Structure 1
């Protein structure tokens, strides 16, 4: 049975427009593909903008590496809706993706007692909003992020001593206090498949930076978490209404040593299979269970 894996021109194999970090797509597919083949399935990479008819014969669609979706959000969500309307099982579901696409989902999780970073939500922030956030948070450095964004795109850091009076962001934004623990302790990514814990890693930014993504020079290393750390990440997973097939829970350590949720990545996260050798098998088993559930009512 063919399983679709959504891509974009920046990640699709053979594309002349591949991103510098497209190797992560290759690593992820290489972990999942042989495990699916061992279970009698074939993974097919396909651009998410392909016509719905191109997905015929693919009952399950993985939202794999469509790493440009934030630039065409409405079109992307409409394509997932159309795929589901045509009878395809989309993982994660269109409802989950729609909820997760706007970082306001963090407010929902905070209301479910998930420990999160203090945040101010502003439609089109200017320097005055940055200054107000600094006063509210009692800090000298604030990070501005797009409410719809990925890979730190459009993100900026602002320091009280060097505020640019002409700065503004043309997108709805979230403003958060900068946590220096990102540079000293790192960011932790907890990987879950169908609600089951797979592995965790620690990501660190390049010297002088605060962004941990590989495209900015970030690096990662395996990490052995405590039971308390896993429980903190699991709290975020269990608070999600639509159980995701896969989830990456990104967290940072707070001043008290506990973990704070930075992001619950449910759309197109890199799953770091190199640090989780069982990830491919876990994904293949979870996909097989979803496929069995699809045909169960007809038997």
Structure 2
């Protein structure tokens, strides 16, 4: 079974994971496997990747966030603008960005475990890079840009994308992220990266659940996926 558009899993994570476990218990092959999905559901996996040497964005991991916490986070991260995201989230839903001159209203809270990062100007100036891998092999790249007046690159907020041919050094950085993942048999992986002020690419997310794999920008994606799935069926 190939995971599809389970875009509300972040609101019902345990129900979603229980369903995958139930399918696997019936002998149904799930791609990517439930143990991979469970590991990938909470973005704290980024902390584990950082420990393994992968370049990541400096991040504060918090049980919740309020207005005073926003200012404290800016001080701790040494920045005048932060982005706050849900630890279990997708599609930038429930995401917020604040500056010292545009703080949340009194009484505001995230209301859930969250991650706080410094805003990266490169997201707007350069874009976010996506590297799609099938069976551990690079398939195609995508450059995602934010729409006018926004910093989020999702189409829901006016973002757009184009095919991207990565430079060898950038591709090697993405390949190092895949190599650092604690799994050997991934059908697919989508590595999203953005450039740090140092010029180094840092992983924003390693999408292993039900990522959109950008078939328009990867015209051979269907064939590559079919071949990888067929190999699993024949091998099983």
Task: Report if TM-score (shorter chain) is over 0.5.
Answer: yes
Q: CA deviation at 1:166?
A: 2.5
| Structure-2 separation of matches of 1:87 and 1:79 | 13
Whether 1:217 and 2:161 are equivalent positions in the alignment is no
Matches of residues 58-207 of structure 1 in structure 2 within 5 Å?
A: 61-164=1-104, 165-207=106-148
Distance 2:68 2:233 in 1: 52
| Residues 186-239 of structure 1: per-residue CA shift (max 9 Å, x gap) | 000000001000011110011110110111110001112111111111111111
- For 1:72 and 1:135, how far apart are their aligned partners in 2? 34
Give the number of the structure whose alpha-carbon radius of gyration is greater: 1
CA distance in structure 1 between the aligned counterparts of 2:206 and 2:177, rounded to whole angstroms: 8
Give the SS at the match of 1:274. coil
Q: Distance in 2 between matches of 1:198 and 1:279?
A: 7
Distance 2:182 2:68 in 1: 36
| Whole-angstrom CA distance in 2 between matches of 1:93 and 1:233 | 22
Distance 1:116 1:282 in 2: 29
Cα RMSD, aligned residues only: 0.9
Aligned-partner SS, 2:7: coil
- Secondary structure (helix, strand or coil) at the match of 2:101 reads helix
Listed as ranges, the gaps of 5+ residues in structure 1 are 1-60, 295-299
Q: Secondary structure at the match of 1:275?
A: coil
Cα offset, 1:63, TM superposition: 1.1
Give the Cα separation in 1 of the matches to 2:176 and 2:221.
21
Distance 1:249 1:278 in 2: 18
Aligned partners of 1:220, 1:260: CA distance in 2, in Å? 19
Deviation at 1:258, TM superposition (A): 1.6
Give the Cα separation in 2 of the matches to 1:95 and 1:136.
34
- Alignment size in residue pairs: 234
Q: Structure 2, unaligned stretches of length 5 or more? A: none
Q: Structure 2-normalised TM-score?
A: 0.97
Instruction: Measure, in 2, the Cα distance between the counterparts of 1:198 and 1:154.
Output: 31
Counterpart Cα distance in 2 of 1:80 and 1:242: 18
